[in-house]
Amino acid sequence: MFFRGLALLLSLYIPVLAAAGVCEEEAQWTRSDSQRHFMVLAGRTDVFYERSGPAFVMLIKNGGEHSADDVEIGAFGMYATSGNQPAFGAVPASEYEGFLHERGNQASEVMLRVEISGPQYEREVKILRSWERRVRERALLYPDIALDNILLVKQATEELNRCSNTLTPYELDWGLEDEISEHNAALRIPFEYFKELRRLNADKHVPDSAVPAALLTSASPVPRTTRRD
Amino acid sequence: MNRRELFTSAGGDACVQATQTCGGSQLIPNVALRTQDDVPVKFYDDLVKGKQVLINMMYANCEGFCPLVTSRLVEVHRALAHRMGRDLFMYSITLKPEEDGPAALKDFAEMHGALLPGWTFLTGDPFDIETLRFALFRHNHIKFDLDLNGHAGNLRIINDSIHRWLNVTPMASKATVLQHISWADPPKPLEQRLKDNRALQEQIGREVAQFGYRKVI
């Protein structure tokens, strides 16, 4: 009985300790110029119905384990197929490359690029990989991929603020003050959400001039085979 | 520059809206779970296939809804004890698999007098539990679906052999819960249904003669 009680007590405290460990790791992390991490929220309108379009989360890391020239890059979310149909999954390079650079202030596009820490980057990778697994195993949570994409962008952006306020948040919660979910079709919500986050976090957006030049250079991607789920 | 793709599946393995073949519409995932006795099971193949089942979600450290729901389910189990473990089964799945291992679930069941025949408590990989939660209890509304406690307040009734799904809140009266369960019972033979119908008609006739209106529902 004593051991069962002890096991119960441990099972209650282990998640709390694990969460504390995550934030401790983030607090202790120090930025280095040789390795930088970015998260980009990118979207376009007027591609699909209801004036909606692609909206995805892109992760970029430069300075890998082997060389300072290494760049790790990937994006996940909603993109347009060759027939302009909405598709949910790992975004092809041809789609996300357009958002490696700033594209001016076009009303039909949004881009917010923030610099994040190494631990934040790893947590974001974990979230995107979990969605990649859902696509691979045909285990999405909704029959409508527009809802899955909302869940993905919500998880990815809220995870940034788990330990500290990296972004000024917008509460996408279908509450009384949430105008975005009230007035937009599901497929368009991520675009409007990114637009609002960009407005709220204009000072945190990293301009092209502050990004290592290597990250802005387009090159043929090498398939990544070293990391698995 | 050496560029590496984070996702090997980029542009290949994707879900296109029109096809709806990516889950969500998949009814009962056959995920691997563990019982309160740490026995591995496949959710659909071992627990649901061809059976009539009652499924709810809970977590051991839940102080609000879960103990109330569990005590109501104990009452339901008592009322249907003659069927439990024979042609009717109950499953309580944890909403917090990171916290609730088999031992924690066994303690919870013991504490609430729920270690009963035909009633199994289940835990598993968080990814699989989330898949199961959405497949069985989602409202297709993100706000409600992210509220774990909201999902703790539902009882899903499935009769897989006749593909019938029902939902009832376990906090309704015991009679209401039992009535919902009976709606998923296997269909009775025609003769039995005709006999039951005749008896009901006679009862209605008697009530109309006595009171002037029908009392039985």
Q: Is B126 on the interface with A (CB under 8 A)?
A: no
Instruction: State the Cα torsion A83-A88-A91-A94 to the nearest 10°.
Output: 10
Residues B150 and B147: their CA atoms lie apart, in Å, by: 5
Contacts of B17 in chain A (CB under 8 A): 85-88, 144-146
Contacts of A64 in chain B (CB under 8 A): 2, 4
Q: What phi, psi does A188 have (nearest 5°)?
A: -95, -15
Report, as ranges of residue numbers, the positions in chain B whose pLDDT lies below 50.
Answer: none
DSSP assignments along A145-192, one per residue: HHHHHHHHHHHHHHHHTSSS-SS-----SSSTT-HHHHHS-TTTHHHH
What pLDDT, in 10s, does the model give residues B101-158? 999 999 999 999 999 999 999 999 999 999 999 999 998 888 889 888 777 789 999 9
Cβ pair A85:B4 closer than 8 A: no
Specify the pLDDT at position A220: 46
Q: Does residue B202 come out as left (phi exceeding 0), alpha (psi in the -120 to 50 range) or beta?
A: alpha
Q: What are the residue ranges spanned by the domains of chain A?
A: 36-216
In B37-66, the residues whose Cβ lies within 8 Å of chain A are 60-61
Contacts of A87 in chain B (CB under 8 A): 14-17
Specify the pLDDT at position A66: 62
Specify the pLDDT at position A17: 52
Residues B57 and B70: their CA atoms lie apart, in Å, by: 10
Would you say the C-alpha torsion B184, B186, B192, B193 has a positive or negative sign?
positive
Q: Measuring CA to CA, how many Å separate A39 from each of A17, A166, A167, B32? A: 27, 11, 11, 34
Specify the pLDDT at position B129: 96
Which single residue is written with the structure tokens 């892109």? Answer: A58
Specify the pLDDT at position A219: 46
Q: Measuring CA to CA, how many Å separate B179 from each of B157, B172, B175? A: 11, 11, 6
Each residue's pLDDT expressed in tens, for chain A with a length of 229 residues: 444 555 444 444 555 555 667 888 888 888 777 789 999 999 999 889 888 999 999 999 987 666 667 889 999 999 998 888 899 999 999 899 988 888 777 788 999 999 999 999 999 999 999 999 999 988 999 989 999 999 999 999 999 999 988 999 999 998 889 999 999 999 999 999 999 999 999 999 999 998 887 777 754 444 433 333 3
Cβ pair A139:B6 closer than 8 A: no
Q: What residues are paired with A88 via a beta bridge?
A: A78, B15
A130, burial (CB in 10 Å: exposed 0-12, middle 13-18, buried 19+): middle
